[in-house]
Amino acid sequence: MDSTKVSNERLQKVLPDAIAALHQVIEKHRVTEKEWSAVLAFLTDVGRHDEFVLLSDVTKTSVLVDAISHEGETNATPSDVEGPLYRENPPWREKPVKIYDEYEGIENGDVLFVHGRVTSADGTPVSDAVLDIWQTGPDGGYDVWDERQPDYNFRGMFGVDDEDGSYEFQTMVPKPYTVPTDGPVGRLLEATGQHPWRPAHIHFKVEAEGHEPLITQVFFPEDPYPDNDTIGAVKQALVRPLSKHENEGELTRCGLDAPFYTCEFDITLKPAMSAAQA
Ligand code: BEZ
Ligand code: FE
């Protein structure tokens, strides 16, 4: 089924309730013609700026839908929202995987190696898993916002080890950043006094034969925005510590001349419905 389409049956069930809820709010607050016109103009502008995903995110609607869609899932890595910054067809990164190139501004950042294993719910390695990563750099945010960065910087796809499902990639420790504020959603945040910050995080998409695709994010402790992410997407089960490495021998072995960090993130995939029933 085309995942962007909703069946008529579902539409006939959900839409009347959605409209009734909207009418209730309009009645409760005695919304005027002028105010309703402003709402319609705002939504038109959101569409023009392609900001509906962003609107869904900052109103924490995406987080609610994610929670409902994955309710009761145990024995699998928790999912999280995708957000609007994913780009299709990122570059394939060969081993040893490094997902960025240098650019002016990167020098104040810290190198980070993220590693872990991808396993199925029963603990067996998923040797054909493909990871797709995207994140901000330590300076300037996402590649699409920062002209200094090469296209697709801090993005990449790669496979896991075909024996034990392990993976490792080199990146930089991401920093907290603000969601786009120069469009209609930014104006809404400003008008309602909601701050635009997200805690530092790394996005993961993981796909493998016979398993449900996983979209998630990894967060770090000691972040200034863990409890008030503007999209409310932090899950404690997705917070992973960063370990600092300063030992001369380790630095030499990694070909680095400054301390670096490591982070372990094991991933458990949920068997696909049809595989689980087979
Ligand atoms: C992100 O994490 O990339 C993101 C999520 C929601 C709004 C903007 C950005
Ligand atoms: Fe992000």
Q: How confident is the model over 12-71, as pLDDT tens digits?
A: 999 999 999 999 999 999 999 999 999 999 999 999 999 999 999 999 999 999 999 999
d(CA 51, CA 31): 24
Pocket mutation for ligand 1, best pick of 49, 54, 65 (most atoms within 8 Å of C-beta): 54
How far away, in angstroms, is 40 Cα from ligand 2 center? Answer: 28
Does 132 sit in the ligand 1 pocket, CB within 6 Å?
no
Question: Measured between alpha carbons, how far is residue 176 from residues 161, 179, 208 in Å?
Answer: 31, 10, 30
- The whole-number pLDDT of residue 225 equals 77
125's CB contacts (< 8 A; 6+ apart) are 117, 118, 119, 160, 163, 164, 165, 166
How far away, in angstroms, is 85 Cα from ligand 1 center? Answer: 6
Q: Is the pLDDT of residue 158 over 90?
A: yes
pTM attached to this predicted model: 0.94
How far away, in angstroms, is 107 Cα from ligand 1 center? Answer: 24
Min mean pLDDT across 108-112, 137-141, 166-170 is at 137-141
Q: For the chain, what's the residue count?
A: 278
- The whole-number pLDDT of residue 108 equals 83
Does 200 sit in the ligand 1 pocket, CB within 6 Å?
no
Q: Is the pLDDT of residue 278 over 60?
A: no
Q: Say if residue 221 is preceded by a cis peptide, omega within 30 of 0.
A: no
What are the pLDDT digits (tens) for 127-152? 999 999 999 999 889 999 999 999 99
Dihedral class, residue 232 (left if φ above 0, else alpha if ψ from -120 to 50, else beta): left
How far away, in angstroms, is 42 Cα from ligand 1 center? Answer: 20
Q: Is the pLDDT of residue 3 over 80?
A: no
What are the pLDDT digits (tens) for 219-272? 999 888 778 999 999 999 999 999 999 999 999 988 999 999 999 999 999 999
pLDDT band at 80 (very low <50, low <70, confident <90, very high): very high
- Which ligand 1 atom sits closest to the C-alpha of 62? 6
Distance from CA of residue 120 to its chain's centroid? 21
φ, ψ for residue 110 (rounded to 5)? -115, 135
Dihedral class, residue 22 (left if φ above 0, else alpha if ψ from -120 to 50, else beta): alpha
**CB neighbour class for 2 (10 Å; exposed up to 12, middle 13-18, buried from 19):** exposed
- The whole-number pLDDT of residue 1 equals 42
How far away, in angstroms, is 202 Cα from ligand 2 center? Answer: 7
d(CA 38, CA 243): 50
Does 105 sit in the ligand 1 pocket, CB within 6 Å?
no
- Which ligand 1 atom sits closest to the C-alpha of 83? 5
User: Average pLDDT of the chain?
Assistant: 94
Q: Is the pLDDT of residue 275 over 80?
A: no
Q: Is the pLDDT of residue 169 over 70?
A: yes
Does 57 sit in the ligand 1 pocket, CB within 6 Å?
yes
Ligand 1, atom 5: closest residue by C-alpha: 83
Q: Is the pLDDT of residue 274 over 90?
A: no
- The whole-number pLDDT of residue 276 equals 53
- Which ligand 1 atom sits closest to the C-alpha of 54? 7
Ligand 1, atom 4: closest residue by C-alpha: 83
Does 179 sit in the ligand 1 pocket, CB within 6 Å?
yes
Pocket mutation for ligand 1, best pick of 198, 201, 204 (most atoms within 8 Å of C-beta): 198
Beta strands 166-172 and 111-120: pairing type? antiparallel
- The whole-number pLDDT of residue 161 equals 95
Whose tokens are 């105010």? That residue is 35
